[in-house]
Amino acid sequence: MLKKFLPDEHVQSVFEIRPSELKERGIKGIITDLDNTLVAWDQADATPEIVQWFKLMKENDIQVTVVSNNNESRVTFFSEPLNIPFIYSARKPLGKAFRKARKEMNLNKEEIVVVGDQLLTDVLGGNRAEFHTVLVVPIVQTDGLWTRINRKIERQILGWMKSRGMLNWEDKEWKK
């Protein structure tokens, strides 16, 4: 059961996700979380670096859809200026939003990666939907209330995985 929380990959940030590497693996789409994955959870606008990352993906024909558990105004305010498709109030890790994003991208499961900073929402949801999952280190060490609760559970899961040799990365950044 806990293997559903294990990401296929771990990176420091979305900037390590490069279109050339995605294309080599046949990836044509990214379903990404918003808060603490693309920008800090309390930052409204995209940074210039994230704007450039989206532009790079678009130039390389990699579709990106933001799928967030946050509310409509938060996700719309971030995504619309970038002309990025989005789904708000996604209720991750439930599968409905993941299926909707895949359908809207018109891609197969094998052609999509799910990127996010949380095991309990992004990785679990992506794994349950049978996508390749990429866990990123949270952008900031602060979180909203519910995410702080999730982080405590995540640390226990990561500790269990590490004790069984399931992790292949250094997890110092997760010891908040």
Cβ neighbour number for residue 127 with a 10 Å cutoff: 20
Structure tokens at 167: 């992790």
CATH of the domain at 7: 3.40.50.1000
User: Is 55 among the domain residues?
Assistant: yes
pLDDT at residue number 162 = 75
Which of the pair, 154 or 105, is modelled with greater confidence? Answer: 105
What is the residue range of 114's domain?
A: 2-140
Is residue 148 in some structural domain? no
Ranges assigned E (strand) in 4-141: 9-11, 29-32, 63-67, 86-87, 112-116, 132-136
Q: Are 27 and 63 in contact (CB under 8 A)?
A: no
Segment among 21-30, 123-132, 166-175 with least mean pLDDT: 166-175
Rounded Cα gap, residues 27 and 113, in angstroms: 7
Give the chain's domain count. Answer: 1
* Residue corresponding to tokens 């299926």: 99
- Per-residue b/e over 83-104, b at no fewer than 16 CB within 10 Å? ebebbbebebbeeebbeebbee
Share of the chain above pLDDT 70, in %: 89
Q: Residue 54: name the closest of 39, 68, 44 by CA.
A: 39
pTM, 2 dp = 0.86
Q: What is the pLDDT of residue 174?
A: 38
Residue 65 has pLDDT above 70, yes or no: yes
Residue among 97, 151, 114 nearest 27 (CA): 114
Q: Does residue 147 fall inside a structural domain? A: no
- The answer to whether the CB of 106 falls within 8 A of the CB of 29 is no
* Count of helices and strands (H, E) across the chain: 6, 6
Coil/strand/helix, residue 109: helix
Residue 89 lies in a domain: yes
Residue range 119-123: mean pLDDT, rounded: 92
Q: Two tokens at 175?
A: 């010891």
86 found inside a domain: yes
Q: Establish if 126 belongs to a structural domain.
A: yes
The pLDDT value recorded for residue 142 is 63
Give the pLDDT confidence score for residue 143 in this predicted structure: 63
* 175 band by pLDDT with thresholds 50, 70 and 90: very low
pLDDT tens-digit profile of 143-172? 666 677 777 777 777 777 777 777 666 544
> Would you state the pLDDT for residue 41?
82
User: From CA 11, how far away is CA 139, in angstroms rounded?
Assistant: 12
Mean pLDDT of the region 12-25: 96
| Domain assignment present for 149 | no
51 falls in which pLDDT band (50, 70, 90)?
Answer: very high
Residue 90, in any domain of the structure: yes
Residue type, 64: V
